């Protein structure tokens, strides 16, 4: 075939949509029938898939194209009421991430705005929220109705999340400013911030001593790492020289 790969992909998409039709017009494969229905309702999405994944085998993979079209259809319906639906959107995106290869999903992310009614940055927030809820970091019943607020919770480190639970901030009606204030007040690494006003010098001396010991341990570890790197370089240098001579 002399046609360009992009055209072959589009032709293949149309071909497999009609391939399952029998002489009586009945579709044997229900998944092919679903794909045909979805693509007829939204030909722009089918064209976008062909262009986004041009040069890859995905446009010829009926199952993957069907999954993308179905996810698009689900997301389009859910987007009408995003406040109550961003979890469903995030889960649909996570399901796609699990079905596609890394390279294919990277292509999908690049074409996000052509397939879905939001940007890749927003899609990333949806996925992260869904992952946090399904993974148990945020209880489903305590997930805020605003995805912007829910996303701020996903950015909390474990020490910050522990403090948020202690303060009763992991709840459905928490305000975004409350979470952002917590992130400013509580360091991500869990180390206590310097106290305002009058200094507790005894406590600061104890903390400084602990940090000094920690720094000494890290210096020792770095020295061990540096020595090992030097040994590896020394062991590899004859091989590298030999390779250079062989090339010459």
165-190 pLDDT, tens digit each: 999 999 988 999 999 999 998 888 76
pLDDT of residue 30: 61
pLDDT of residue 15: 53
- The answer to which of 25-39, 48-62, 201-215 has the lowest mean pLDDT is 25-39
d(CA 211, CA 208): 5
d(CA 8, CA 54): 9
Instruction: For the full predicted model, state whether its pTM sits above 0.95.
Output: no
d(CA 174, CA 168): 9
d(CA 104, CA 248): 40
- Confidence category of residue 14, pLDDT binned at 50, 70, 90: low
72-100 pLDDT, tens digit each: 888 877 765 666 789 999 999 999 999 99
Q: What does the H/E/C string look like for the chain? A: CCCCHHHHHHHHHHHHHHHCECCCCCECCHHHHHHHHHHHHCHHHHHHHHHHCCCCCHHHCHHHHHHHHHHHHHHHHHHCCHHHHHHHHHHHHHHHHHHCCHHHHHHHHHCHHHHCCCCHHHHHHHHHHHHHHHCCCCCHHHCCCCHHHHHHHHCCCHHHHHHHHHCCCCCCCCCHHHHHHHHHHCCCCCCCCCCCCCCCHHHHHHHHHHHHHHHHHHHHHHHHHHHHHHHHHHHHHHHHHHHHHHHC
105-134 pLDDT, tens digit each: 999 999 999 999 999 999 999 999 999 999
């Amino acid at each position: 075939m002399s046609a360009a790969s992009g055209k072959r992909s589009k032709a293949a998409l149309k071909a497999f949509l009609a391939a399952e039709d029998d002489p009586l017009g009945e579709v044997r494969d229900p998944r092919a029938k679903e794909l045909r229905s979805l693509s007829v309702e939204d030909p722009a999405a089918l064209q976008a898939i062909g262009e986004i994944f041009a040069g890859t085998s995905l446009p010829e993979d009926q199952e993957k194209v069907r999954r993308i079209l179905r996810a698009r259809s689900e997301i389009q319906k859910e987007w009408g009421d995003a406040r109550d639906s961003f979890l469903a959107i995030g889960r649909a995106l996570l399901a796609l991430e699990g079905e596609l290869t890394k390279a294919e999903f990277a292509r999908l992310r690049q074409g996000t705005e052509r397939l879905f009614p939001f940007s890749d940055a927003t899609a990333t927030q949806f996925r992260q929220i869904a992952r946090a809820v399904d993974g148990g970091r945020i209880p489903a019943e305590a997930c805020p109705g605003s995805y912007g607020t829910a996303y701020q919770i996903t950015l909390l480190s474990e020490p910050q999340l522990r403090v948020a639970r202690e303060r009763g901030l992991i709840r459905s009606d928490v305000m975004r400013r409350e979470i952002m204030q917590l992130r400013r007040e509580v360091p991500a690494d869990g180390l206590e911030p310097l106290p305002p006003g009058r200094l507790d010098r005894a406590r600061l001396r104890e903390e400084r001593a602990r940090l000094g010991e920690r720094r000494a341990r890290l210096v020792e570890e770095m020295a061990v790492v540096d020595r090992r790197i030097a040994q590896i370089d020394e062991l590899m240098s004859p091989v590298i020289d030999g390779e250079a001579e062989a090339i010459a």
